[in-house]
Amino acid sequence: MQNELLLEFFSEEIPARFQRKAIADAQNVFTKILQDYGAEFDAVETYVSPRRIAIRVSGLKPQTKDLHEEKRGPRLSAPESAIRGFLKSNGKEKSELVERDGYYFLNVETKGVSIPDLIPEMIEDFIANMPWQKSMRWYIEEERSLSAFWVRPMRSILCIFDGKVIETYIKSVGLTTCGHTFGHRFLAPGSFLVSDFKDYVEKLEKNRVILDFFKKRELIDRELTQRAAAMGLIPSADPDLLDEVTGLVEFPFIHIGTIEEQFMKLPSVVLSTSMRVHQKYFTMIYPGSVIAPFFETVLNVPETKVMSEGLERVLRARLSDAAFFFKEDTDATLEAFAQRLSNVVFHEKLGSMAQKVDRMMSIADSKDEHRTIALCKADLMSQMVGEFPELQGVMGEIYAAVQEEEPAVCKAIREHYKPLGANDSLPETQTGARVAFFDKLDTLVGFLGIGIYPTGSKDPFALRRAALCIVRLLCDFDGDVLTGEKLSWYIETLVTAYSDQGVALEPETIECVEKFIIERLKVYMSDKLDINVDVVEATISSFDTLDFDYKVAVAKAKRLADLSGKAEFSVLKEAYKRACGVIGDAEVSSEAVNALVFKDDNMLKLQEAIVALGADASKFSHFIDAAQALLTACDNVLINDPSPEIRIRNLQLLKAFTNLVEENIGKL
């Protein structure tokens, strides 16, 4: 295809978990490279499969655009040596200099460069700048040195521009670009030539390679669903596992296997987790959400009898382990596990997990809360959670039910880890929500209290997430997580609990924790609720202390956001901005507005409107009346009057307006 560049970086297997991100990363990196070189093109498409990254640039003009640039040189009074240096660096003569505004200028024209001449540099730049979560180097015999970093050892680079193979040596990986690629590792391992992207995709599919990650993912999803439906079953919804298996195979083949009856007695979550984590198997369920004794898996080659037997044999071994863990765990009690939490370090400066549980106890106030807290971390000591850490809380609920704890306690043990983030569901029960709040708040108080804060993008202890989860519990939970107490009371009680355990926190810990949570509240309102940042700031600043009702704050912000959408709000905004601009840095004292004396009718009307606003700031119409009066006054009155006495009175009236806006706008 004309004006098309096709590149393929062929390597050993790219880890499945890297592939989806690599699609976007490759597109961003190569697009920037093209732009930096001044290339003119229509679009960049990127594709990633287990052994290759492919890049297609369509509409790529064969030469970069000519650049016309005016460069400013030395001053006219500069030494001759400086002028000569400027001319030499740009390859120009003194006669080409232009004098303007006390400086020398040069008009520099840079002719475009042929794209084939730039391709080697582009490839080197792409290899150097492609970000990988993990990468490696390998030895290049010809160079007698190590290669550049890449996700896995690179084996070939395909390079075709305008239907012609571009052969060039890429020193960083010790490879010469070529016009061929390879098919499926096992089903069609040979090489074949390609002419353009269309030919490339078609020949790959003939050789059992689906290049497009999303096309392959859709095919796998459809095949899983159809094969299950033929048995009257449904494959479990698991987008992450679907992404992973998509990245494991070049061409998918679906296999359905059987789970032995003896393992069907295990809790369904244990079955599905063991199959998903260890074997990448999909659970199959009946329409009533009951797990079926079958599984689906995605293979890279067609199944054989030996392979089918092997898949079920490996699963049998994994599920036997899970059954053993479950029996061992249920032969003990959660209380026994909880007694061992003193051996688990929460943080070296903050004590053990058992001490964390004790601190949480200090802010609990019901029987169910105390029982939930006593058992909520116990499953961390179970063999099942040791094998599958993602089941913490889930196994606690199951084991609590086995030992016949109250249903509310069982559920709260699982729920106390919720929410896991901005989009996770909230606890359904009051006890679960309260214990979740205790757990996350204790973490914040401890880490912030010893001076450990997130820095930049680094947040190794997920403190921002903990604060955001607290915000969601305070704002979104259908109930009162604080049960009448102030947030500061809980923080203060936890600070005391830490002190009683011999952990001294910073004196300003209470205020620091409150401010940290409020910062997450601002993020939550602006990002999750899509409320303008200015509205969020106005709402938060309208509260006198850090200790306010978070649900009320959100309601006020939403109300103010609604008001800000009205046409009249622009009048208020303009008036406030105008008043602040006129006041500037002047120090204006606060005086009783109705005590000020004015002769000008415009100022009298403004005074009247501000007095009305001060008497009842709950009406939006009063703000608009005052704003319109202020704009009229500013248009018709010299606020900064030559007379100091008049000027001060005028500014005091404007200051009264800005004060009322700042104090009350968030309370509407």
Q: Mean pLDDT: which of 366-380, 602-616, 643-657 is highest?
A: 366-380
Strand positions, DSSP E, 197-237: 234-235
CA 57/CA 48 separation, integer angstroms: 15
The pLDDT value recorded for residue 86 is 87
Q: Please state, as a whole number, how many other Cβ atoms lie within 10 Å of the Cβ of residue 139.
A: 11
Does any domain span residue 388?
Answer: yes
**Could you give phi then psi for residue 350, rounded to 5 degrees?**
-120, 5
Identify the domain boundary among 170, 189, 206. Answer: 206
Tell whether 458 and 395 lie within a shared domain: yes
Q: Is 473 within 8 Å of 481 (Cβ atoms)? A: yes
In a domain, 340, yes or no: no
Same domain, 136 and 285: no
Q: Contact 151/10 with Cβ under 8 angstroms?
A: no
Q: Report which of 240, 189, 186, 236 is spatially closest to residue 217, judged by C-alpha positions.
A: 240
| Residue written as token pair 């599984």 | 295
**Nearest alpha carbon to residue 30 among 124, 150, 157, 160:** 124
As a whole number of angstroms, the distance between CA 2 and CA 4 comes to 5
337 lies in a domain? Answer: no
**Cα–Cα separations (whole angstroms), residue 131 to 50, 148, 211:** 17, 12, 21
CA-wise closest residue to 490 among 429, 434, 419: 434
pLDDT in tens, 70-85: 888 898 888 988 888 9
On whether residue 285 sits in a domain, the answer given is yes
Q: Are residues 218 and 311 in the same domain?
A: yes
Residue 641 has pLDDT above 80, yes or no: yes
- Provide the percentage of residues in the chain whose pLDDT is more than 70: 99
Q: Are 216 and 246 in contact (CB under 8 A)?
A: yes
- Tens digit of each residue's pLDDT (9 = 90 or more) over 145-172: 999 999 999 999 999 999 999 999 999 9
H or E, element range at 36: helix 16-36
Euclidean distance between CA atoms 607 and 308, whole angstroms: 87
Q: Which two tokens stand for residue 627?
A: 């704003």
Mean confidence (pLDDT) of the chain? 94
Q: Per-residue pLDDT for 108 more than 80? A: no
Residues 427 and 389 in one domain: yes
Report yes or no on whether pTM surpasses 0.85: no
Is the CB of residue 603 less than 8 Å from the CB of residue 637?
yes
In single-letter form, the type of residue at position 148 comes to A
| Dihedral sign computed on CA atoms, order 362, 363, 365, 366 | negative
> Is residue 668's pLDDT more than 70?
no
Give me the percent of the chain exceeding a pLDDT of 90: 80
Do 453 and 576 belong together in one domain? no
Same-domain pairing of 505 and 549: yes
Other beta carbons within 10 Å of 661: 22
Contact predicate 53/16, CB 8 Å:
no
In-domain check, residue 80: yes
Q: Domain boundary at 508, 538, 558, which?
A: 558
pLDDT-based confidence at 664, cuts 50/70/90?
Answer: confident
Do 169 and 96 share a structural domain? no
Residue 76 lies in a domain: yes
Q: Tell me the CATH number at 649.
A: 1.10.730
Same domain, 389 and 522: yes
Does 515 share its domain with 427? yes
Instruction: Tell me: pLDDT of 110 over 80.
Output: no
CA distances (Å), origin 190, targets 43, 106, 316, 634: 31, 57, 36, 82
Per the domain annotation, does 341 fall within a domain?
no
Owning domain of residue 312: 213-331
Supply the pLDDT for residue 293: 97
Residues 292-324: pLDDT tens digits?
A: 999 999 999 999 999 999 999 999 999 999 999
Which of these, 527, 425, 513, 509, lies nearest to 473 by C-alpha position? 425
pLDDT at 197 over 90: yes
282 lies in some domain: yes
Residues 57 and 9 in one domain: yes
Q: Reply yes or no on whether the pLDDT at 666 is more than 70.
A: no
* Position 256 pLDDT exceeds 70: yes
Asked whether residue 506 carries a pLDDT value surpassing 90, the answer given is: yes
Q: pLDDT per residue over 347-356, tens digit each?
A: 999 999 999 9
How do 234-235 and 282-285 pair as beta strands? antiparallel
Tokens of 139: 């030895």
Helix (H) or strand (E) holding 283: strand 282-285
Look at residue 534 and tell me whether its pLDDT is greater than 90.
no
What tokens does 99 get?
């004098």
Q: Are 87 and 54 in contact (CB under 8 A)?
A: no
42 lies in the same domain as 122: yes
**359 DSSP 8-state letter:** H
- How many Å apart are CA 505 and CA 350, to the nearest integer? 10
Residues 424-472 pLDDT 10s: 999 999 999 999 999 999 999 999 999 999 998 899 999 999 999 999 9
The residue type of 421 is G
Tens-place pLDDT, residues 537-576 = 888 987 888 999 999 999 988 988 888 877 788 899 899 9
358 and 463 share a domain? Answer: yes
Compute CA distances 349 → 56, 191, 420, whole Å.
53, 59, 25
Strand partners, 219: none
Residues 46, 32 contacting (CB under 8 angstroms): no
Domain count, the chain: 5
| Last residue of one domain, picked from the residues 535, 558, 581 | 558
What pLDDT score was predicted for residue 1? 65
The Cα–Cα gap between 208 and 299 comes to 13
CA distance 630 to 267: 70
Label residue 184 exposed, middle or buried (CB < 10 Å: 0-12, 13-18, 19+): buried
Write the pLDDT tens digit of every residue in 13-28: 999 999 999 999 999 9
